[in-house]
Structure 1
Amino acid sequence: MNLSEQRARGTDRSVARRTELIAIGRKLFADTSYDALSMDDIARQAGVAKGLIYYYFKSKRGYYLAIIEDSVGDLVDRASSSVELDPVERVHRTVDGYLRYAECHQAAYRAIITGGVGFDAEVQAIRDGVREVMIETIARGAYGTPRVPPVARLALLGWLCGVEGATLDWIGRPDLERDTVRELLVRLLGETLRVIEEFAPSCPAPPRTP
């Protein structure tokens, strides 16, 4: 094995180990708040030396941010995996994927949306990034392009903030079926798109479904 192959194998092992630690952290933070877990607790429950976590993530906060970013990737992938569908079905699938993620990964979803550790500029930036991706995904589904006028983006952001609040409430006391929540949010989106058309005629709303 030459030097480049040795380095590649070492890199693969390092990536795999880091991925494993993130998966462990997601489970730990799903059951326990950020403040309640010390690095000693994390290392003990993960069954690794504390130094290994510091090696990969530098600090508890760095570890937590890596977990949030990994969770964000899952959320975005789940919500934007329907690009091959027609626009109406794509919107339904996008909202359904978003709700499914929140339902199955409640702690991660709360951390993404609320920040999880009080006000933290980096966590807020991650959340804002999720919002931008979601807005672009919805715009692409509705208009065929992620680029929309500022007034359209503002309206979609308002709808998405409402989705976040409704989803947080729903997973906290799930007394409605996911299908009902999805249809409600899609209907609200339809009304938002019709309001956008009034303010930005270049963004026509899709026709109403029967």
Structure 2
Amino acid sequence: MSVEAGPRRRLEPDARRAQILSVAVRLFGERGYAGVSTTDVARAAGVARGLVNHYFGTKKDLYLEVIRVMLTVPEVAVAGLPDGDLPTRVDAIVSWFLDVVSRHSRSWLAAITAGGMAGDTDVDRVIAEAIDGAADAVLTAAGLDAANPAQHAMARSYVGLAVSTAREWLQRGVLTRAQVHRLLAATLLTMVSQVFPES
């Protein structure tokens, strides 16, 4: 299936790279790894294929960057949390997560399931790094110590719950967003008040 070329316009290098990445996120989310070529990405972004290679390297390198950007909690999300009490901060981080996964549901689901590349060492490494980073973000949002190994392990477990719950909502449609929000917020608050202090 061919992709219509987007309009060509002159962009600064960072903006062009971000545009190509945005197109790649959409295409890999729609078709998976095997269904997308760098030529498809270039055509949809309105650039020469060589420019895709210049910014990202190989198709696999581009795909790893797509997974990284879809699964990594940016520092700005944590920095932007409100200064309120713990329930307010937990509510904000859960809302942020659900906003992201719903806005980019196909691409996020493809990334978290490795889009047909499960078992690939590089893909598994990028996913594991993203989960570690998300655990750090959870601990920071809760005002806890990300350097504590037990707390970090529990935070990774919470991230696993968040991923599974979001998949239940997005893929199966049995849970509503409000139910997912309540489950994730209540679980994190319970972990912080009753589980983390024991570590």
TM-score for the superposition, normalised by structure 1: 0.75
Report the alpha carbon displacement of residue 66 of structure 1 after superposing the two structures with TM. Answer: 2.4
**2:130 equivalent in structure 1:** 130
Report the alpha carbon displacement of residue 62 of structure 1 after superposing the two structures with TM. Answer: 1.5
Count of residues in correspondence between the two structures:
186
- Please tell me the residue identity of whatever aligns with 1:101: V
> 1:96-175 residue pairs with structure 2 within 5 A?
96-116=95-115, 117-142=117-142, 144-147=143-146, 149-175=148-174
Change (3 A) 1:160 1:72: closer
CA distance in 2, matches of 1:103, 1:156: 22
CA distance in 2, matches of 1:33, 1:71: 14
**1:95 equivalent in structure 2:** 94
**2:14 equivalent in structure 1:** 15
CA distance in 2, matches of 1:91, 1:66: 28
**What is the SS of the residue equivalent to 1:35?**
coil
CA distance in 2, matches of 1:150, 1:188: 20
Report the alpha carbon displacement of residue 83 of structure 1 after superposing the two structures with TM. Answer: 4.6
Which structure: larger Rg?
1
| Sequence identity percentage | 25
Q: Are the counterparts in 2 of residues 78 and 98 from structure 1 also a CA contact under 8 Å?
A: no
Change (3 A) 1:31 1:42: same
Q: Where in structure 1 are there 5+ consecutive unaligned residues?
A: 1-11, 201-210
TM-score for the superposition, normalised by structure 2: 0.79
**2:4 equivalent in structure 1:** none
- Please tell me the residue identity of whatever aligns with 2:130: V
| CA RMSD after TM alignment | 2.4
Change (3 A) 1:123 1:146: farther
- Please tell me the residue identity of whatever aligns with 1:149: N
CA distance in 2, matches of 1:190, 1:24: 37
Report the alpha carbon displacement of residue 63 of structure 1 after superposing the two structures with TM. Answer: 1.7
Identify which of structures 1 and 2 has the higher relative contact order when contacts are C-alpha pairs closer than 8 Å and 6+ apart.
2
1:76 paired with 2:69, answer no
CA distance in 2, matches of 1:78, 1:103: 19
1:65 paired with 2:60, answer no
Q: Which runs of 4+ in 1 moved over 6 A?
A: none
**1:196 equivalent in structure 2:** 196
